Amino acid sequence: MNQFIIPINDWAAGERKFRFHAGIEFFQMFDNQEILDADVNVEATVQKSGTRKVEAVLHLSGTVTVPCDRCLDPLALHVEAEPSEVFTPGEGPDWDLSQAVYDYVCLSLPLQKVHPEGECNPDTVRFLSQEERKDEEAATQNSPFAALKGLFDEK
């Protein structure tokens, strides 16, 4: 898929804007299993001042849907990024911005991907918190202190 390609040779010096759209197919291309859906608009403002003097400033905005860390239901996250980095192309007549776009979308996602308080799927949360309690009980019973406690109780 050559969606994010900026042709370098076929225009004269000056500024041009390129608009791209990153949908779910784009993220699948990178084998990203975490992203369930995506709707991200990418705008590249490209400044050309010579054959190999090309710079781009990116602006990404849209939404990306990932599973919620807490309840696993789909969670739509707003993505807004304007990397301050200026991108310059390598060799070749075409400039592929895919990797940069992909990296910046991933970087702009928060570390904690959870629904706002109270908006998680209540069934899943209830189930998970029960599991957690079971784990805690198991941990207490297996601890050496639990055994000691038993000893003292017997006396």
Is 115 near Zn ion (CB under 5 A)?
yes
Distance (Å) of CA 115 to CA 26, 105, 119, 121, 128: 24, 19, 6, 9, 15
CA 42 to chain centre: 15
Q: How far is the CB of 36 from Zn ion (least distance, A)?
A: 13
Alpha-carbon gap, residue 44 to 60, rounded angstroms:
9
Task: Please identify which residue in 4, 22, 60, 70 interacts with Zn ion, judged by CB under 5 A.
Answer: 70
Q: How far is the CB of 45 from Zn ion (least distance, A)?
A: 36
Nearer to Zn ion, 16 or 115 (CB): 115
Return the range that interacts with Zn ion (CB under 5 A); candidates 24-32, 38-46, 60-68, 85-93.
Answer: 60-68
Q: How far is the CB of 77 from Zn ion (least distance, A)?
A: 12
Nearer to Zn ion, 46 or 71 (CB): 71
Residues 10-49 contacting Zn ion, CB under 5 A: none
With CA atoms as reference, report the closest residue to 106 among 22, 3, 13, 17.
Answer: 22
8 A C-beta contact, residue 26 and residue 100: no
Amino acid sitting at position 37? D
Is 81 near Zn ion (CB under 5 A)?
no
Chain positions contacting Zn ion, by CB under 5 A: 68, 70-71, 115, 120
